[in-house]
C-alpha cells in the first residue's frame, strides 16, 4: 500500500477543471498582513510525496509567491503571495498535470474516495474468488484443453476486473507519466500489468502455469491496504471534519426594511443582521444587537455550562444558541471567522516542514527512480544467472511491489495529524506542524504575567474587611462602570439592593463613579478624587468626602498555572517570568508559582533580547505570552504559545493557541509533543527496518508478488496503527488531568 491517495476525485468540485480568473482568486483570498495574501486551492489528484514536491516546486517558481504548502490529507494547497498581480496558479498546476479549483471547507461532505475504493475492493474480491475456484481445478490436475479453457475464462474475468478496480492506480500512474513525472503508483501499475501480461502469454502458448489469480488477488490486497489507509487517515483528521460540520450552510438575514431572506454562508458579509434561532449555531463572528440568550460556548472555552449573552456581547462562529432567538450583526465573513481560523490551524498541523518531515519527503521523492532501477537490475541479474526470463520477471514484479517508501512517507504526517487531533480535544490548536517537533525539544520556559499566568482580571481580596452596607453601595456604584476594578467590586456583593435608588449617577473618566442616595453623595474610585489629597493612594468608597472603605485588589492566577509550572520543573524545564509590570506584583505571582527567576519592568525589546540571550546559551525556549508587546518575543522563541484571548498579532506569531482558561494546556502540549516525537522515531525505525529486510528477500527470489503486496500493505498499516497509539493510550500522556502524573505534580510542589 502506498501513502498515495487514489485519483478518484479528478474533476471533483463544482468548478473543477475551469479556468480561475484573477478576480475570482483575489476575492477568495484572505489578507495575512504585511502585504501578504493566502489562497487555498483544492487539488483533488495529489497523491504522494512526489506530487507534493512537484506542486510546491512549480508554484514556488512563480513571481510573487512566498510559499506553497500542500496538505495531503485534505488535498489542499495553501499559497502565500505578495499582493499585486495575481500569479497564474491554476494554469501552473494544470501544466504540471493537476486540476484545481477554489477550496471550500464543505466540499468533502461525502467521501467519494472511500466510495470508489470500496467498489474497487468488491470487484477485485469477487473476481479473485472466482478465478481462485478455477485455479483449484488446474492445481487438482486439469490438463490439456481443460486447463487452457480454465485459463482463458480466468483471463476474461481478470481483464475487466483489473481495468475497473485497478483504475485507482492506472489513472494516477498514467497522469504522472503523461506529464513526465513518476509517482508511487507507477511501479504498482507496472507490476499488476506485467503479472497479467505474463499470465496471458502463458495462456496463448498453452503454458502449464498462469497467474491470473495472483494478479487479481495482488490488486485485491493492495486495494484493501489503501482503503484501510484512507479510513485511518480520515479518522485521524476527524477533528477537522467535526469542525467543518459545525459551520451552518447559511443563515436567515434581516434587511433594513424588515424583510427576511436566506443567504448561503459564503454570501454573508460584515454588517448584515442575522437571526439566530434556538438550536442554531452562529454562522459568523458577530455582536448581539437584539435579545438575550444563553450560548453553549464549549467550542471556544471548553466550558460545558451555557453562558449568558446580552446585547453588545461578542459571539464566535460555531457557538450554539440554547435560550432565545437573538439578532447578531456580522463582524466578519465566513472565511475570516473564529471557526474558519480553527479549521485552518488544524489543517496547518499536517503541513509543517520539520526536520523529520523533510527527510521523509526527500526519501519519498527518490523512491520511484530507485525502485525501478532496482527491479530492472534484479531482472537482468536473474536472467544472467538462470536464463529463465519467466522467473526473472516474476521476481522483478515482486521487487516493484514490495519496495515501500509509503511507511516512511507516513511516518511524520500521520503522527502530526493524530497529535493535532489529541491537542484539539484538550483545547490546544496547532498553528504549525513543525512546532510539535520544536516543542518536544524545549528545556526552558519563559512566561509573561498579565493575561498569561494571570487572567488579567483583578479580584477584590479584602471583601471580608468591608462593612456589608458599604460593600453593597460600592457594588451598586461599580455596576455603573466597566472598569476592571469596578467589575471586581460588583462581583462580590448584592448589586440590586441600592442600584434602583441611586440618583445622578456620573462616571468621571480617570477618577471613578459618583451618585446620590438619600441625600448623601457617594463616590467610588481614586482616593484623591473621592476623599481629597490627604488620603493615601488606592481605590476607596467615600460618603460626602469621608473615607468609608478601602479596597485592595489582587491579580487572579490562571487555573492550572501552579500545576503547569510544577510539571515543567519535574520534566527538567526551568521556568522564568518576564513582565512589563512593577517589581511588587511580579514578585508576588512568581513567589506563588515557585518561579525563582523573574524580571520586571521589561519592555518588548527587553523580552526579545532576553530570548536571544537564552538562545545563545544553547537553550531551546518555550515562550508563553499574549498581547501586542509579546509578539516579537513569541516570534523570536524556539517555540511559542498564546491564549485565544491574546491580541491578533500575538496569536499569529504563536505556534500554538490554547482556547481554555487553564494553563494545563502547556503540560498537555509538551507531553503530547514529546510522545509524538517518540512515535515518529519509532515509525522511521519501522519503515527503514521493513525496507532493509524486505527488499533483499524479494531480490533473492524468496517472495512472490502476492506476498509482496501483503507485506507492503502491512508495513504502512503498522506505521499508521503505531501513530494512533497517541490517542488510544490516554495514560501515556501528561497533563494535570493525567493520573499517571498526579504524583509527579505533588512531588514537584514539595521540591
- Catalytic one of 448, 563, 630, 738: 448
Distance between CA 577 and CA 572 in Å, rounded?
Answer: 17
Distance between CA 196 and CA 188 in Å, rounded?
Answer: 13
Beta bridge partners of 287: 314, 329
CA proximity to 6, closest of 219, 204, 130, 170: 170
Residue with cell 453553549: 296
Beta bridge partners of 574: 444
| Strand residue runs (E) in 306-411 | 307-309, 314-315, 320-321, 326-330
CA proximity to 460, closest of 440, 431, 489, 483: 489
Q: Are 471 and 463 in contact (CB under 8 A)?
A: yes
The helix or strand, by DSSP H or E, that contains position 32, with its residue range, turns out to be: strand 30-33
Q: What is the DSSP string of 94-118?
A: HHTT---EE--TTTTSS-HHHHHHH
Q: For residue 251, give the 3-state DSSP assignment.
A: strand
Distance between CA 401 and CA 705 in Å, rounded?
Answer: 7
Distance between CA 454 and CA 458 in Å, rounded?
Answer: 9
Residue with cell 482568486: 25
Residue with cell 490548536: 429
Distance between CA 575 and CA 219 in Å, rounded?
Answer: 56
Distance between CA 222 and CA 464 in Å, rounded?
Answer: 73
Helices 112-139 and 212-236 sit at what angle, rounded to 10 degrees?
A: 150
Three cell numbers at 225? 491496504
CB 496: neighbour CB atoms within 10 A? 10
Q: Are 562 and 575 in contact (CB under 8 A)?
A: no
Q: For residue 688, give the 3-state DSSP assignment.
A: helix
Alpha-carbon torsion (412, 413, 419, 423), positive or negative:
positive
Backbone angles phi, psi at 481, to 5 degrees: -130, 155
Distance between CA 454 and CA 595 in Å, rounded?
Answer: 14
Residue with cell 500542500: 70
Q: Are 63 and 11 in contact (CB under 8 A)?
A: no
The answer to whether 448 is a known catalytic residue is yes
* CA dist 239 → 3, 246, 297, 418, 737 (Å): 21, 11, 17, 9, 21
CA proximity to 173, closest of 263, 226, 97: 97
Burial class (CB in 10 A: 0-12, 13-18, 19+), 535: middle
CB 652: neighbour CB atoms within 10 A? 17
Q: Are 269 and 321 in contact (CB under 8 A)?
A: no
Distance between CA 86 and CA 222 in Å, rounded?
Answer: 42
- Report, as residue numbers or ranges, the catalytic residues: 448
Amino acid at each position: 500500500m502506498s501513502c498515495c491517495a487514489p485519483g478518484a476525485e479528478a474533476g471533483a468540485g463544482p468548478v473543477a477543471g475551469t479556468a480561475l480568473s484573477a478576480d475570482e482568486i483575489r476575492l477568495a483570498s484572505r489578507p495575512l498582513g504585511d502585504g501578504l495574501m493566502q489562497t487555498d486551492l483544492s487539488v483533488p489528484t495529489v497523491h504522494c510525496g512526489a506530487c507534493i514536491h512537484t506542486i510546491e516546486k512549480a508554484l514556488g517558481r512563480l513571481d510573487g509567491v512566498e510559499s506553497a504548502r500542500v496538505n495531503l490529507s485534505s488535498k489542499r494547497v495553501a499559497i502565500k503571495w505578495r499582493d499585486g498581480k495575481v500569479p497564474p496558479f491554476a494554469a501552473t498546476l494544470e501544466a504540471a498535470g493537476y486540476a484545481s479549483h477554489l477550496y471550500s471547507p464543505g466540499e468533502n461532505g461525502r467521501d467519494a474516495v472511500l466510495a470508489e475504493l470500496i467498489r474497487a475492493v468488491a470487484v477485485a474480491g469477487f473476481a479473485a474468488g472466482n478465478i481462485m475456484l478455477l485455479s483449484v481445478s488446474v492445481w487438482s490436475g486439469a490438463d490439456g484443453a481443460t486447463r487452457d479453457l480454465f485459463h482463458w475464462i480466468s483471463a476474461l474475468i481478470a481483464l475487466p476486473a483489473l481495468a475497473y478496480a485497478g483504475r485507482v492506480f492506472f489513472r494516477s500512474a498514467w497522469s504522472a507519466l503523461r506529464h513526465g513525472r513518476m509517482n508511487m503508483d507507477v511501479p504498482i501499475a507496472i507490476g499488476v500489468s506485467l503479472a497479467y501480461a505474463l499470465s496471458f502469454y502463458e495462456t496463448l502458448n498453452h503454458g502449464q502455469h498462469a497467474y491470473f489469480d495472483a494478479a487479481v488477488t495482488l490488486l485485491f490486497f493492495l486495494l484493501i491496504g489503501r482503503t484501510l489507509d484512507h479510513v485511518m487517515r480520515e479518522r485521524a483528521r476527524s477533528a477537522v471534519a467535526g469542525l467543518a460540520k459545525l459551520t451552518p450552510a447559511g443563515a436567515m438575514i434581516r434587511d433594513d426594511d424588515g424583510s427576511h431572506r436566506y443567504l448561503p454562508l459564503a454570501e454573508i458579509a460584515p454588517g448584515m443582521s442575522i437571526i439566530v434561532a434556538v438550536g442554531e449555531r452562529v454562522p459568523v463572528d458577530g455582536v448581539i444587537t437584539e435579545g438575550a440568550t444563553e450560548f453553549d460556548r464549549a467550542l471556544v472555552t471548553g466550558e460545558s455550562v451555557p453562558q449568558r449573552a446580552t446585547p453588545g456581547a461578542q459571539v464566535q462562529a460555531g457557538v450554539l444558541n440554547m435560550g432565545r432567538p437573538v439578532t447578531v450583526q456580522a463582524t466578519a465573513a465566513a472565511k475570516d471567522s473564529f471557526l474558519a481560523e480553527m479549521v485552518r490551524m488544524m489543517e496547518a498541523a499536517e503541513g509543517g516542514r520539520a526536520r523529520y518531515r523533510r527527510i521523509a519527503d526527500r526519501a519519498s521523492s527518490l523512491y520511484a527512480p530507485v525502485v525501478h532501477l532496482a527491479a530492472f537490475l534484479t531482472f537482468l541479474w536473474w536472467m544472467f544467472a538462470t536464463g529463465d526470463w519467466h522467473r526473472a520477471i516474476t521476481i522483478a514484479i515482486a521487487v516493484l511491489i514490495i519496495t515501500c517508501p509509503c511507511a516512511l512517507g507516513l511516518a511524520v504526517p500521520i503522527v502530526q495529524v493524530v497529535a493535532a487531533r489529541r491537542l484539539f480535544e484538550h483545547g490546544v490548536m496547532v498553528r504549525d506542524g513543525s512546532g510539535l517537533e520544536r516543542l518536544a525539544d524545549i528545556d526552558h520556559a519563559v512566561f509573561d504575567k498579565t493575561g498569561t499566568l494571570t487572567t488579567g482580571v483583578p479580584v477584590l481580596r479584602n471583601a471580608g474587611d468591608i462593612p456589608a452596607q458599604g460593600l453593597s453601595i460600592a457594588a451598586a456604584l461599580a455596576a455603573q462602570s466597566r472598569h476592571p476594578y469596578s467589575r471586581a467590586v460588583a462581583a462580590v456583593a448584592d448589586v440590586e439592593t441600592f442600584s434602583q435608588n441611586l440618583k445622578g449617577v456620573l462616571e468621571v473618566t480617570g477618577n471613578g463613579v459618583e451618585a446620590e442616595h438619600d441625600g448623601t453623595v457617594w463616590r467610588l474610585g481614586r482616593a484623591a478624587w473621592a476623599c481629597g489629597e490627604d488620603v493615601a493612594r488606592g481605590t476607596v468608597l467615600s460618603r460626602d468626602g469621608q473615607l468609608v472603605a478601602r479596597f485592595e485588589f489582587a491579580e487572579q492566577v490562571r487555573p492550572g498555572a501552579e500545576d503547569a509550572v510544577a510539571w515543567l520543573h519535574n520534566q527538567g524545564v526551568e521556568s522564568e517570568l518576564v513582565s512589563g509590570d512593577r517589581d511588587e506584583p511580579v514578585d508576588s505571582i512568581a513567589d506563588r508559582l515557585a518561579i525563582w527567576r523573574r524580571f520586571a519592568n521589561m519592555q518588548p525589546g527587553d523580552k526579545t533580547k532576553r530570548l536571544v540571550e537564552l538562545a545563545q546559551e544553547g537553550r531551546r525556549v518555550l515562550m508563553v505570552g499574549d498581547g501586542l508587546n509579546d509578539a516579537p518575543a513569541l516570534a523570536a522563541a524556539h517555540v511559542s504559545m498564546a491564549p485565544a484571548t491574546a491580541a491578533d498579532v500575538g496569536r499569529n506569531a504563536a505556534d500554538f493557541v490554547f482556547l481554555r482558561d487553564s494553563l494545563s494546556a502547556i503540560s498537555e502540549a509538551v507531553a503530547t509533543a514529546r510522545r509524538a516525537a517518540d512515535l515518529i522515531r519509532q515509525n522511521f525505525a519501522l519503515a527503514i527496518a521493513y525496507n532493509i529486510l524486505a527488499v533483499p528477500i524479494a531480490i533473492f527470489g524468496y517472495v512472490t508478488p502476492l506476498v509482496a503486496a501483503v507485506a507492503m500493505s502491512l508495513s504502512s498499516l503498522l506505521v499508521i496503527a503505531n501513530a494512533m497509539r497517541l490517542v488510544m493510550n490516554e495514560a501515556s500522556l501528561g497533563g494535570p488531568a493525567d493520573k499517571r502524573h498526579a504524583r509527579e505534580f505533588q512531588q514537584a510542589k514539595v521540591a
